[in-house]
């Protein structure tokens, strides 16, 4: 892991510059994640299939003798050191990005693990910002790993995921599901996580893409999760679920097969909600089929299911937008693309494609040029590897 070694040196050097010395400092890492298939199913009691990446968030941290919190991000250097205190763990607009680590400290306290002392924390992420590769969840998990390590808190990696989600829901007011934090905290090299979000049961599935690679295309369209249509989609699905519950005994949309959905969908009183619920049900079934295909080494079928996932997100769930549609539709034209879809919450962010290695250069050129021509600014492309979970470096 030569990258980790280099990044460790970089954050230690910067820590010394910002905070004066590196006495008592340790360096931590938490990955970003990409979801291969199973989008907007995680709060509908369905399955998801994410994997951790080798890019992520690096953090240098140490404990202070007082109650002060000092944060610095190499990704937002113009903001300088942002100060706070462990007595003052509440979300504040002017706290900016530090609301994520502060939220985790608050959540640890809520779960019976109060943070006893202040800290100096410096972050450096190599996840593209606003890309939808979960930089916020990565920051949450790395913060949890820091607290666990320094204060000896008895929490598992799965607990780190749940605490991160709790802090994002209750402290930062984003009604996110469990997938992002879970994928990051539970990541395993060269494996994706087949997670049932209804009960958090999961298995690891090896991802063997002989002769192909995962390529992320970042639309560079900025979006804010909290103010996007995310919470609106959630409530549309919740309403559809309560309408279906009048006629069928289910706890979540993820419990229905396609046939059952078609049988009962008349109970949903609004055409838009029918499409939202249809996406949740069909996408969950696609995810089950995709994981089965991967186990059979049927990458072609996996790719077709990825493509179908995008169409459903575009037409039934309506969370794609012109930027993501352009990236995906141009990807489909390139020979050697096995599958391509938007990934993440939508309305900007990224696409994920499985591309044959000898087609990657052509893919980047062709899709990049078409995107620039249509959208008016460029996209960024990342060939990524599947990595492990949080670590002390």
User: Is a pLDDT exceeding 80 seen at residue 266?
Assistant: yes
Distances (CA, A) of 79 to 4, 76, 96, 168, 230: 25, 6, 9, 22, 28
Output the CA torsion 78→81→86→88 (10° steps): -50
Q: What is the pLDDT of residue 134?
A: 72
Residue 346, pLDDT score:
85
Mean pLDDT, residues 227-254 = 91
pLDDT for residue 130: 63
Q: How far apart are CA 256 and CA 46, in angstroms?
A: 9
Query: For the range 374-378, what are the long-range contacts, defined as Cβ-Cβ under 8 Å and sequence gap of 24 or more?
Result: 374/322, 374/326, 375/219, 375/322, 375/323, 375/326, 377/220, 378/220
What is the maximum alpha-carbon separation in the chain?
66
358 part of the active site? no
H-helix or E-strand spanning residue 133: none
Question: For residue range 348-365, what is the model confidence (pLDDT) as tens digits?
Answer: 889 999 999 999 999 999
The structure's pTM equals 0.89
Summarize pLDDT for 312-361 with one digit per residue, the tens: 999 999 999 999 999 999 999 999 999 999 998 888 889 999 999 999 99
Q: Choosing from 180, 190, 199, 298, which is the catalytic residue?
A: 180
Per-residue b/e over 339-371, b at no fewer than 16 CB within 10 Å?
A: bbbbbbbbbbbbbbbbbbeebbeebbebbbebb
Sign of CA dihedral 230, 197, 98, 51: negative
User: If you search the block for the tokens 């390529």, which residue do you land on?
Assistant: 215
CA gap 122, 250 in Å, rounded: 46
**Residue 226: pLDDT above 50?**
no
3-state secondary structure of 194: strand
Of residues 280 and 173, more confidence is placed in 280
Give the CA distances from residue 386 to residues 187, 192, 214, in Å, rounded to whole numbers and listed in that order. Answer: 8, 8, 9
The full set of domains in the chain, from first to last, is 2-206 (3.30.230.10)
Q: Output phi, psi for 84, to 5 deg.
A: -160, -165
Q: What percentage of the chain reaches a pLDDT higher than 90? A: 84
Other residues' Cβ atoms within 10 Å of the Cβ of residue 216: 25
In the numeric block, which tokens belong to residue 19?
């905070």
Residue 133 has pLDDT above 80, yes or no: no
Per-residue pLDDT reduced to its tens digit, 249-264: 999 999 999 999 999 9
**Strand arrangement of the beta sheet that strand 212-218 belongs to:** 337-343, 350-356, 212-218, 380-384
Range list of H helices, the chain: 2-19, 99-110, 135-151, 157-170, 179-185, 230-244, 258-264, 271-295, 299-315, 321-332, 360-375
The pLDDT tens digits for 17-75 are 999 999 999 999 999 999 999 999 989 999 999 999 999 999 999 999 999 999 999 99
């Amino acid at each position: 892991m030569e990258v980790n070694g280099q990044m460790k040196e970089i954050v230690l050097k910067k820590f010394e510059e910002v905070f004066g010395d590196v006495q008592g400092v340790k360096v931590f890492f938490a990955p970003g994640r990409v979801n291969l298939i199973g989008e907007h199913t995680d709060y509908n009691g369905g399955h998801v299939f994410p994997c951790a990446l080798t890019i992520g968030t690096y953090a240098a941290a140490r404990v202070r003798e007082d109650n002060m919190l000092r944060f610095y991000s190499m990704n937002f250097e113009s903001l300088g050191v942002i100060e706070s205190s462990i007595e003052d763990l509440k979300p504040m607009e002017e706290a900016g990005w530090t609301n994520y680590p502060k939220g985790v400290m608050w959540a640890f306290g809520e779960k019976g693990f109060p943070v006893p002392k202040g800290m100096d924390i410096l972050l450096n992420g190599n996840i593209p910002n606003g890309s939808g590769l979960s930089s916020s969840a990565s920051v949450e998990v790395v913060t949890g790993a820091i607290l666990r390590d320094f204060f000896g808190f008895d929490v598992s990696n799965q607990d780190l995921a749940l605490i991160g989600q709790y802090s994002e829901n209750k402290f930062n007011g984003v009604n996110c599901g469990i997938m992002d934090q879970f994928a990051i905290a539970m990541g395993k090299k060269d494996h994706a996580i087949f997670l049932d979000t209804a009960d958090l049961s999961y298995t690891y599935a090896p991802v063997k893409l002989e002769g192909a690679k995962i390529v992320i295309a970042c639309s560079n369209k900025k979006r804010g999760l909290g103010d996007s249509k995310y919470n609106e989609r959630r409530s549309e699905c919740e309403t559809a679920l309560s309408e279906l519950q009048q006629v069928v005994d289910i706890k979540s949309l993820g419990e229905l097969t396609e046939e059952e959905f078609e049988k009962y969908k008349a109970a949903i009183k609004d055409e838009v909600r029918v499409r939202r619920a249809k996406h949740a049900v069909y996408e969950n079934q696609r995810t089950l089929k995709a994981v089965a295909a991967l186990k059979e080494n049927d990458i072609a079928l996996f790719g077709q299911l990825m493509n179908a996932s995008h169409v459903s997100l575009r037409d039934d769930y309506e969370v794609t937008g012109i930027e993501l549609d352009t990236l995906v539709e141009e990807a489909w034209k390139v020979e050697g693309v096995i599958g391509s879809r938007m990934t993440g919450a939508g309305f900007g962010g990224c696409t994920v494609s499985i591309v044959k290695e000898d087609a990657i250069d052509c893919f980047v050129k062709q899709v990049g040029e078409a995107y620039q021509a249509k959208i008016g600014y460029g996209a960024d492309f990342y060939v990524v590897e599947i990595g492990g979970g949080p670590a002390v470096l």
